[in-house]
Amino acid sequence: MLNMHAKNKMRGHQRVPSGSREFKELTKRDAQTQLAHELEGLLATTVDDETKRSVEQEFQGFKRLFERFLLDKDSTISWDRIQKLPENAVRDHSTLKEPASEQLHAMLNKLVVVKLNGGLGTSMGCHGPKSVIPVRSELTFLDLTVQQIEYLNKKYQVDVPLVLMNSFNTDADTQKIVRKYRGLQVKIYTFNQSCYPRINKESLMPIARNCDVENDIDAWYPPGHGDFYESFKNSGLLKKFLEEGREYVFISNIDNLGATVDLSIADLLLHTDEKSPEFVMEVTDKTRADVKGGTLIQYENKLRLLEIAQVPKEHVEDFKSVKTFKFFNTNNLWVKLSAIDRVLSENSMNIEIIVNNKSLDNGLNVIQLETAVGAAMKSFEGGIGINVPRRRFLPVKKTSDLLLVMSNLYSLQNGSLVMNPERMFLTTPLVKLGDNHFAKVKEFLARFANSPNIIELDHLTVSGDVTFGRGVVLKGTVIIIANHGDRIDIPAGAVLENKIVSGNLRILDH
């Protein structure tokens, strides 16, 4: 290349630098051509025809995603074009009516429940799918979900199927686990979301050298839950459920223990005099703990999800404002099956791309192109938000969330967590546990002799080497900070109300 360049210079044909737009277009076209070539090479490493067909189908989706990433449209929004939410954009859950009992049977048989089950429990120090972490009475997220659906099916004599969207990280383990539910009154289906190659940040080319994912797991990734729609259709399940006369799918994260089938929302969708909305997003009131959660906005005369990644830097504080944006997305979604089929057939699904930068253990910088399932809202007609009570949003992302769901704040009824009536407030306590000593489930469990009584707790902060004896009661605001090298043991039966404990405190049994 250098020689060519020198040759041109000598002849007096120095090339005029192309305009930056033209340069970008040329490099984008080159990247697309090069990517297609690389994917062909990967495809040639598949072991049999069936695998090849399946991988080829996924690569088509990846190429479309990559092309949209290069075009770089819709990733940020123009802040001054955000419109005020229209009057009826968000309905209040309390205004919805309970369905008549004679309608329930026909109504529930039109429903499919999908749980997003692609995540691992690594951030909480666990191996395997997050859905198999025990959360209450030795029952896992998956156990509780299956219990909920079985109870629904038995109570109303219906056949609501449970569908798990796995990733290549969780599929094998999940397949082994679901066998134990065979005798229960719930049909369980699984399908896998796509498996895409990670891209080298510098060259924009896949880092994978062959399609043997298990032996080169760092080279591949699941592209976020926005991949649901296409993978659901590719699995054949969308067609199957439409042929069965099913009408709506209720999608939620498997680690959200509040995301049960809501009969009032199902009634709104399946027994409405007006045209039923094709897409419903459950939102709830934003608190200071939720400032980074996606919110609903009206943009270009359509209701859509706005994530913090799309917000221009100078407006991030506006986005976090509880006054400006009152709601945030719980990721509990209700979508019309026939509308999913139509939007995919028309190729009109347009989901913003989330560019996730990662550094691998070998120091290589890669990017993952991901999408979010709720961002598809703008591709559907008549979308609405429903402002639901906080009890429908009980995610377990950290051990601080685990402390809440294991505690006496809740009782377990047919797989659902029900708030203790003795709790005076509708909100849950704000709990912050220090990462160094509490982040992993095993460490967290070792630090509590049993779950403390937190019925009257508002706020708990714990940092450092702290342990709790049996029967501890926490009320109001409690802050416990053990300085570096110190240890604090809260003795059995202690009652801490509006207390700050710091320094070094050890009470020895004798």
239 is catalytic: no
Instruction: Please classify residue 156 by burial: count the beta carbons closer than 10 Å to its beta carbon, then call 0-12 exposed, 13-18 middle and 19+ buried.
Output: middle
For 101-142, the three-class secondary structure string (H helix, E strand, C coil) is HHHHHHHHCCEEEEEEECCECHHHCCCCEHHHCEEECCEEHH
Q: Distance between CA 474 and CA 403 in Å, rounded?
A: 12
Q: Say if residue 397 carries a ligand binding annotation.
A: yes
Chain-centre distance for alpha carbon 113: 15
CA-based nearest residue to 190, from 115, 110, 255: 115
The full 3-state SS of 19-54, as one line of letters, equals CHHHHHHHHHHHHHHHHHHHHHHHHCCCCCHHHHHH
Cα dist. 224→37, 221, 331, 338, 419 in Å? 25, 9, 13, 23, 31
Q: Exactly one of 397, 432, 475, 499 is catalytic; which is it? A: 397
The crossing angle, in degrees rounded to 10, of helices 49-71 and 20-43 is 170
Any known ligand binding at 315?
no
171 is in an annotated binding site: no
Q: 132: burial class by Cβ within 10 Å (0-12, 13-18, 19+)?
A: buried
- Residue 395, SS3 per DSSP: strand
Nearest to 504 by CA among 490, 486, 479: 486
Closest residue by Cα to residue 66 from 22, 92, 100, 31: 31
Determine if residue 255 is labeled as part of a ligand binding site.
yes
Query: Of 353, 356, 303, 297, whose CA–CA distance to 326 is shortest?
Result: 297
Report whether 225 belongs to an annotated binding site: yes
3-state helix vs strand vs coil in the chain, percent to 5: 35, 25, 35
Q: Is 105 annotated as a binding residue?
A: no
Binding-site residues, in ranges, read 130, 193, 224-225, 255, 397
Catalytic site residues? 397
For the annotated binding site for UTP, the residues are 130, 193, 224, 255, 397
